[in-house]
């Protein structure tokens, strides 16, 4: 198993990429700390893992709050004795996110607080824990829109993911000689509740699909497998990477007929 004797903390573990990753990491031998603000969803993820014979605990934490990020890391170490993998995955794509003219300041601030500050705070408390464990892997969920602009306006989200990508590069550089690897997982458009709430009409969905050479949305399970590579020793010489799993969207100017 690729994560045997590892302890992994995953934010946004109640749904989507976070849940699929938590379940996969557990199946690969990791003890899992599932973090979310939706208690019912987070507890359901833990139930799925424990029911399959692996060990997981749930921690309620709002990643935009300093004290709650400190708590989630502290609980992980108290319960399992160490932390080896930190997956800063929690994020939002607000339905009212739009262009610069039409995006409200409240939407902008909320998006930045969760998507950017949440990664910063996760690393603020997670990196010392990884040091205590002798090193480890940090995975930050960015997005293909950190590399490309979005086909439909979502300025706060795009800017936030660009910040995650640049933060990841600097963290990777600073901590490389501490045996701490930091990589950005950049999913393409996925068939998840998060994106489908935003792409809420067939016109919006088709506008996005036309740019994907593979002609379909990705699945959260596919992103979990990418995260597993970045979490495991299989990626031992990989740090500071913009790890694109995007169906080819960033490679293509236009989609082939």
> Which strands form 242-245's sheet, in the order they lie side by side?
56-60, 31-36, 7-11, 85-88, 136-141, 180-187, 242-245
Extended beta strands in the chain, E state = 7-11, 31-36, 56-60, 85-88, 136-141, 180-187, 242-245
Residues 6+ apart with CB under 8 A from 181: 135, 136, 137, 138, 172, 230, 235, 236, 238, 239
Helices 16-27 and 220-231 sit at what angle, rounded to 10 degrees? 50
Instruction: Kindly list the catalytic residues.
Output: 157
User: In angstroms, rounded to a whole number, what is the distance separating the alpha carbons of residues 51 and 233?
Assistant: 27
Dihedral over alpha carbons 168, 174, 179, 182 (to 10 degrees)? 0
């Amino acid at each position: 198993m690729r994560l045997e004797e590892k302890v992994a903390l995953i934010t946004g573990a109640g749904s989507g990429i976070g849940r699929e990753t938590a379940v996969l990491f557990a199946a690969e031998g990791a003890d899992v700390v599932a973090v979310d603000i939706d208690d019912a969803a987070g507890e359901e993820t833990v139930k799925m893992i424990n029911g399959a014979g692996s060990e997981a605990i749930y921690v309620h934490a709002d990643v935009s709050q300093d004290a709650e990020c400190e708590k989630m890391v502290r609980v992980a170490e108290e319960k399992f004795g160490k932390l080896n993998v930190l997956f800063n995955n929690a994020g939002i794509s607000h339905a009212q996110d739009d262009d610069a003219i039409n995006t409200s300041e409240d939407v902008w601030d909320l998006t930045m607080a969760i998507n950017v500050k949440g990664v910063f705070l996760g690393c603020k408390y997670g990196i010392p824990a990884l040091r205590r464990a002798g090193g480890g892997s940090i995975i930050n969920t960015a997005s293909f829109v950190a590399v490309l602009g979005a086909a439909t306006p979502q300025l706060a989200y795009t800017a936030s993911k660009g910040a995650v990508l640049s933060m990841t590069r600097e963290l990777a550089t600073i901590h490389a000689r501490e045996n701490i690897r930091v990589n950005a997982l950049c999913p393409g458009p996925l068939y998840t509740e998060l994106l489908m709430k935003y792409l809420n009409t067939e016109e919006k969905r088709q506008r996005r699909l036309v740019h994907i050479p593979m002609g379909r949305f990705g699945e959260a399970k596919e992103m979990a497998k990418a995260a597993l590579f970045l979490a495991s020793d299989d990626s031992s010489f990989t740090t500071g990477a913009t790890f694109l799993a995007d169906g080819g969207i960033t490679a293509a100017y236009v989609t082939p007929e």
